[in-house]
Amino acid sequence: MNQIIPSSLFALTLLSSLSSPSLTHAQCHFPAIFNFGDSNSDTGGLSAAFGQAGPPHGSSFFGSPAGRYCDGRLVIDFIAESLGLPYLSAFLDSVGSNFSHGANFATAGSPIRALNTTLRQSGFSPFSLDVQFTQFYNFHNRSQTVRSHGGIYTTILPEADSFSQALYTFDIGQNDLTAAYFANKTVEQVETEVPEIISQFRNAIKNVYGQGGRYFWIHNTGPIGCLAYVIEWFPIKASDFDSHGCVTPLNNLAQRFNYALKQAVIELRASLSEAVISYLDVYSIKHELFLHAQGHGFKRSLVSCCGHGGKYNYKKGIGCGKKIIVKGKEIYIGKPCDEPDKAVVWDGVHFTQAANKFIFDKIAPGLNMACHRQ
């Protein structure tokens, strides 16, 4: 079970949990990033497939919608910046994309395990992790065939060596827990499905390894019991809420998932002899931010920056950027809070750019170790 640790100890704990290299190890250099995940790291995949995430998404940094369900940059954007790489283009986005430094296969709403529903039925993406791997597999092979044609293809597609030298990032699993919960399963029932979900995640890592991937950067899942879109589904029972307003049983579920994920990482480290696998405890960082938001310079923790109505400025079906009819008048839910940089949650589901930067700053030291095997 993950323990919540003080913010001042995050960096030390993360570094020691990643590996224990000597201080003389050379700084890692990754020529590319290949990312797999959900909305926490989607830089335009779902927007390309099903329609752009409209304004005010992107308003704090990009100045307009940029395919992200956020007011600005995501953790994966800050990772790319820190490695001196361009922001990742979504694999599904054919307009203006440059894949010379990697590709992003993540889409908002993606689970690890495929769901037997459509996006319109459930709100979850059909691009599950196995589909994302298939896309990567095809991209790996076809990109080299096309690149051999020369010309512009040599500037927009990765070199062959990039695939073995790249950082492979994963941030996925949250939707597996919430999808099962939203299907009216109990927390206990969802927990019984975790082993199968983790098994499929483990297979994905092995498949990428089989394609030459050697450096893996894996985020665990966050405290779903602190997000408005999940809290709104939970039956109101005062004893299930902690003193900060988060739903304890749901956070416990996330931590059980994370425990299983960490055990899988330990097994993968033992079985994949050439792999360097970094496990990042982002749950603890996000939980710390929810619990002590003001101490970290934030004014809003559980309440959404962009939304409409309810205790958390969030209502299902009336998300940020939507239009609704109130008393015969059309209202656009597009005005974010006055200080997005002081809010933890952007829209009841996703984090703000400021929160993403906070998270990145805590895990950033691990990037210097992500190429060194224990």
- Which residues are known to be catalytic? 39, 347, 350
Neighbours of 155 (CB within 10 A): 9
Determine the 3-state secondary structure of 253 from DSSP.
helix
Q: Do the Cβ atoms of 104 and 90 come closer than 8 Å?
A: yes
The pair of three-digit structure tokens given for residue 363, joined into one six-digit string: 């895990």
Pairing of strands 167-171, 102-104: unpaired
Q: Do the Cβ atoms of 175 and 110 come closer than 8 Å?
A: yes
Element (H, E) at 276: strand 276-280
At a CB cut-off of 8 Å and minimum separation 6, what does 145 contact?
none
Pairing of strands 102-104, 33-37: parallel
Q: Do the Cβ atoms of 275 and 209 come closer than 8 Å?
A: yes
Task: Tell me which residue of 36, 18, 20 sits closest to 280, measured CA to CA.
Answer: 18
Q: CA-CA distances (angstroms) from residue 61 to 23, 56, 77, 206? A: 35, 11, 12, 36
Backbone phi, then psi, for 128, in 5-degree steps?
-70, 175
Task: Tell me which residue of 43, 95, 88, 89 sits closest to 69, measured CA to CA.
Answer: 43
SS3 sequence, 57-71? CCCCCCCCCCCCCCC
